[in-house]
Chain A
Amino acid sequence: MVPDTTDSRPATRTTSVRRRYAMPEWLNRRDREPLPWTVSAGPVARGEAFTDLTTCRMRIPLGDDETSRCVRAHEMMHAKVSPLSLWRPEGSTHIRDDALVTAEEFRVNQLIKAVGFPVDRHLADGSEVRTGERIGSNGDWNAAVLSIAATCGTRASRGAFTGLRRSRPEWIPRLRAFDRHLKKTWARASASGFDVVASTQPWGEATRGWTFTLEIAHAIEAVLLDPTSSSDCAPDDSNGLATGARGSFARPIVADLPLVHRVPGRLRTSRTAALTGRHPRHLQRLLTDPERRIFERRTRAAGGVIVVDQSGSMRLTDEQVWDMLRAAPGCTVIGYSHEARSTTVSNLWILAKNGRVVDRVPRGNGGNGVDGPALHWAASMRSRHDPFIWVCDGYVTDAYDDHDDALTRVCADLVSTYRIHQVPDIPSAIAALSRAARGSRLPVQGIGPVQAMRSQAQHS
């Protein structure tokens, strides 16, 4: 027995830094003979810890904190249950390596959670938010799916969702549903114990527990994009609704209008650290900022998205639209209106972007038809915290310009997902823009049938 405190501590110190260890020698497996392990110390950071089952090497953090303990448990569980190779039986040969590795990460995380390690509170290294943001910014849907699966049920999952929500909020509903599906699959598989999911009984070139990993890998593979596809976007449910048929949105046809005039000014308020001021708001910068900018000043920045329904029911005049464009300097303004049954007439256009506006406001085509695609498109142009205003009376219609409850529900969901502030007319939009310019955060709200759907969804 050896004391586990560091040997080189100064004599005057009264506290000691406790080192912890992993004990892979204590793990029993049915599929291989016990072997000696080489364990080395590593930092608590994603990708630093590893377990090599072939050479019996393991790198783990030796800290006495719960995060390090969870990382150790994760690697130990790999040593306990993971097979030596990514074996694919017949029927699973199409599954790519990434999906298998991620599925095994999922199994291991669920197992250590099930045996009592607090992974839902401690298994995270703090890089997840930034990683999620980066994945979303790159439009890497496959990486988002793998990230969500690999962190499912752990604290890291929250960070991953937060980062993705900031950069790709339109992906969140689908990723949430996928996350729930994985958890349900685990709950079903482990309902009667771990006899199968943790089994190391030999099975083919792997273990019986690998059957569960394969099941998860199939689920992951099903939502991944084809690697040969040139698309960098998520398979979008809304696309399935925008078929141009009755009961679905019309296919969006974008008109490329020249943005010829400049509109001076900016709407969005941005806060910047400053060297001078009255109220120190960033005291931490005394330590972290070489220039010690502990005060704050507000600046204006380009930003904000406005989607304008230019259908006949809105009865918008050109003058009203111009008033709004002048009230929204620096914002991206999108107009839309679909001609019923048409598949050739443009139904979506940009009225203003990057401080420039069109020369002439196009007239609407009478119907709505593309409410959902317009909101999706606008959301893809929005930055984090930008105000998102939708000028619409709430009467969502399909490609035939008939009111449709299902499409209204889709738009109601989009209002919640993208935190849209819906207003019924131009004066309300200008008032909202005025509030946004003063730094107020616009509340999420719907109008008419859209709001009714939101209320219904909240109550149910």
Chain B
Amino acid sequence: MTTDSRVFDEDKGTAPSVLPGCWQDVSDTLGAGVDRLILYGPPGTGKTYAGLTLGDVRGGAFRLICTEDMTPADITGHFLPTASGTWTWLDGSVVRAWKGNGQCGGRIVADEIDRASGDVLSLLLNMFDSDGSASWQHPETGLELRPVEGFSVVMTTNIEDLRDIPQALRDRFPIAVRIDQPHPDALATLPIALRTPASVSADAEHPRRFSIRSFRAFDHLQRRGLSTERAARLVFGPLADDILDAIRIDSADPLVRT
């Protein structure tokens, strides 16, 4: 269970004391047992990580990365040849999430749903339907499968306008939360001076937008002994001069030196 809103103390070198609004929304939604949720917003803010870990994931968490080339087999499953010359059935991500651990349904995290092709989206309409409506017949056994109680879906996407998602699919997700900054737990892994930039830059305007991954790489290179300038040039490329100027200005504040 990671839906806690742990309070971090800046003086102890951890995260801000109040959970940011977007993460509080996620925490409250999943904590209340809502089982269909869309997380959208800029990349690198931890939407997928949150889907895989936050809320009740006792039944396991499964990831489905949508692409244009993805087929329904990735969702429901497919036959696979074996060494003995026979065929065996391999469940797809969503079916595995439906089954969960047997007692409790699992969590499926569908990334980049806006990239899925038409037939995949049609199938997902069924698979992500409400628990009473969703069903699927196993091609090998002929059994009709339904999601085990506790099955949940977190859909993530980088699109800003949710009208780009098909209306019927969107309708299956009553709540959508825009994630505009990294989770405080993720920020806590950075030095104090980089937390504010990492927090705000995730949702900054182009070209000032950087994900937390850039900050982690920047911090990592410095910890490995590279100078600030060298690390900035490697990570931020042609914007390094502007970032170095900003760091120079920020160095006037004693906060950075402590």
Contacts and interface: CB of A to CB of B under 8 A. Distances in A.
Interface string B204-243: 1111100000100000000000000000000011110111
Interface stretch (A35-43, A260-268, A355-363, A431-439): A35-43
Contacts of A115: 248-249, 251-252
A166 interface: no
Q: Which of B214, B239, B247, B250 has the most CB of A within 10 A?
A: B250
B40 to A, nearest CB: 17
Interface string A1-13: 1111100000000
B196 A22 contact: no
B203 interface: yes
Q: Which of B196, B245, B251, B252 has the most CB of A within 10 A?
A: B252
B197 interface: yes
A194 B255 contact: no
A111 B249 CA distance: 8
Interface stretch (A72-80, A137-145, A315-323, A381-389): A72-80
Contacts of A35: 200
B199 interface: yes
A110 to B, nearest CB: 10
B208 A30 contact: no
A27 interface: yes
A175 B256 CA distance: 37
A27 B237 CA distance: 20
Nearest to B20: A33
Contact of B252 (A24, A25, A30, A111): A111
A21 B248 contact: no
B208 A21 contact: yes
B239 A21 contact: yes
Q: Which of A5, A28, A77, A199 has the most CB of B within 10 A?
A: A28
Contacts of A88: none
B200 A34 contact: yes
Contacts of A199: 253-254
Contact of B208 (A5, A23, A195, A198): A23
B255 A200 contact: yes
Contacts of A117: 245, 248
A4 B200 CA distance: 21
Contact of A1 (B239, B249, B250): B239
B246 A1 contact: no
Nearest to A30: B255
Contacts of A69: 245
B53 to A, nearest CB: 24
Q: Which of A4, A25, A195 has the most CB of B within 10 A?
A: A25
Given A34-B200, A39-B205, A27 B249 contact: yes
A195 B245 contact: no
A28 B256 contact: yes
B201 interface: yes
A81 interface: yes
A198 B249 CA distance: 10
Contacts of B197: 23, 25-26
B255 A22 contact: no
B250 A26 contact: yes
Contact of A2 (B16, B192, B207): B207
Given A36-B203, A39-B205, A77 B252 contact: yes
Interface string B66-100: 00000000000000000000000000000000000
Q: Which of A3, A114, A115 has the most CB of B within 10 A?
A: A115
Contacts, number: 113
Contacts of B248: 73, 115-117
A188 B239 CA distance: 36
A29 interface: yes
A107 B242 CA distance: 22
B207 A4 contact: yes
Contact of B204 (A18, A25, A76, A198): A25
Given A4-B207, A25-B196, A194 B254 contact: yes
B7 interface: no
Q: Which of B16, B203, B241 has the most CB of A within 10 A?
A: B241
A39 B252 contact: no
A81 B206 CA distance: 25
Q: Which of B199, B214, B245 has the most CB of A within 10 A?
A: B245
B188 to A, nearest CB: 15
Contacts of A34: 196, 199-200
A36 B206 CA distance: 12
B236 A28 contact: no
B193 interface: yes
Contacts of B245: 23, 69, 72-73, 76, 117
Contacts of B253: 28-30, 80-81, 194, 198-200
A160 B239 CA distance: 34
Interface in A55-73: 69, 72-73
B63 to A, nearest CB: 26
A25 B208 contact: yes
A1 B196 CA distance: 19
Nearest to B238: A4
A215 B92 CA distance: 70
Nearest to A200: B253
Contacts of A193: 254
Interface of A: 1-5, 18, 20-30, 33-39, 69, 72-73, 76-77, 80-81, 111-112, 114-117, 193-195, 198-200
9 contacts: A1-B236, A21-B239, A28-B256, A34-B199, A38-B205, A112-B249, A193-B254, A198-B254, A200-B255
Interface of B: 16, 180, 192-193, 196-197, 199-201, 203-208, 214, 236-239, 241-243, 245-256
Given A76-B245, A80-B249, A199-B254, 15 more contacts: A20-B242, A21-B239, A23-B197, A25-B197, A27-B249, A29-B253, A34-B196, A34-B200, A37-B204, A37-B208, A39-B205, A76-B246, A80-B253, A81-B252, A198-B253
Q: Which 4 A-B pairs have the closest CB atoms?
A: A26-B246, A23-B246, A198-B252, A2-B207
